[in-house]
Structure 1
Amino acid sequence: MTALLLSIHVLASIVAIGPITVAASMFPRSVKPGSDPATAALLHRVCRGYTVVGVAVPVFGIATGAAMGVLGQPWLSVSMLLTALAAALLLLAILPGQKRLLDAAEATREATTRLTMTTGLFNLVWATVVVLMITRPGSTTGV
């Protein structure tokens, strides 16, 4: 059962989080003057849509951690906190920032730069979670 839960968790991570990181990273360039507004709208829809699917990542991650008996491990606690941070960045800053830029008559350099930086932080947080999941520092399950 653990292998199935872990497989679903990893697949959900790849299928859901991957497209969000790519689309969110591409979005700021797509709102620059001269860009096709349909591209920006599509990238925003990709981010919104995959956010819904992305809920499966922590759900199956927690189920996997429980099945493995590692929910109390520090590496997993830090990963869960970072996952919550990434979710907050996405829901409270990235998606609303994209929407504001889509609705604006013209994207300001400041707003685009802020969104680019927030998206970079979001991607860095996810990269850190991946490293923690792979290295599991201090884990008793072995590496």
Structure 2
Amino acid sequence: MTKLLLSLHVLAAIVAVGPVTVAASMFPATLRRALGDPGHGDALTAVTALRTLHRICRVYAGVGIAVPVFGFATASSLGVLGDTWLIVSILLTAAAAGVLALLILPAQDRALAEAGTSGAPSSSPSAPLSPGRLAMLTGIFNLLWATVTVLMIVRPGSTTGA
């Protein structure tokens, strides 16, 4: 049963987290193009691409809930729920989910609303983050997931071997 749970956990991570990291990483560069000349064909195509990238991020973020669910089941099956490496991984996963749900997705929503209407950044408090700041947040999100991946492979202090 442990091997099945671990396989499902890894598959869920690949299928769910992979598309989010790629789509979120592509969003800032596409946003730069969309905020260019709003009447230009490339800008219109970029807005369509932004909608697609945002939808990928939202849908796969929801699917990504399977990753910690299978992760907890696997950890319980292995008897490692109290191990430090796992607790740190859980905290980093929660931080990555928070960055995605509370910062990246809302910023993408605001960017889509703005890119679809004007193309020129507004000065309102609800204005989207600049593409550079959104890229930074996405980089943080990706770095958190990369760290979790390394911890899952290395498992420092784990008694399960590695």
Name the TM tier (shorter chain): over 0.9
* CA distance in structure 1 between the aligned counterparts of 2:24 and 2:120, rounded to whole angstroms: 16
Counterpart in the other structure of 2:136: 117
How big is the alpha-carbon RMSD for the aligned residues of Structure 1 and Structure 2?
1.3
Deviation of residue 122 (structure 1)?
0.2
Aligned length: 143
Contact map agreement 2:111 2:129 (CA 8 A) in 1: no
Q: Counterparts in 2 of 1:40-119, with a 5 A limit?
A: 40-104=50-114, 105-106=118-119, 108=121, 111-119=130-138
Q: Which runs of 4+ in 1 moved over 3 A?
A: 107-110
Q: Spell out, residue by residue over 1:52-83, the C-alpha distance to the aligned partner (whole angstroms, 9 max, x if none).
A: 10000000000100000000000000000000
Normalised to the residue count of structure 1, the TM-score between the two structures is: 0.96
Local SS of the residue matching 1:51: helix
Local SS of the residue matching 2:119: coil
Deviation of residue 110 (structure 1)?
5.7
Structure 2: segments with no counterpart, 5+ residues: 37-41, 122-127
Normalised to the residue count of structure 2, the TM-score between the two structures is: 0.85
Deviation of residue 107 (structure 1)?
6.0
Local SS of the residue matching 1:31: helix
Counterpart in the other structure of 1:18: 18
Contact map agreement 2:107 2:129 (CA 8 A) in 1: no
* CA distance in structure 2 between the aligned counterparts of 1:77 and 1:102, rounded to whole angstroms: 36
* CA distance in structure 1 between the aligned counterparts of 2:155 and 2:13, rounded to whole angstroms: 17
* CA distance in structure 2 between the aligned counterparts of 1:137 and 1:110, rounded to whole angstroms: 37
* CA distance in structure 2 between the aligned counterparts of 1:52 and 1:130, rounded to whole angstroms: 19
Larger Rg: 2
Counterpart in the other structure of 1:138: 157
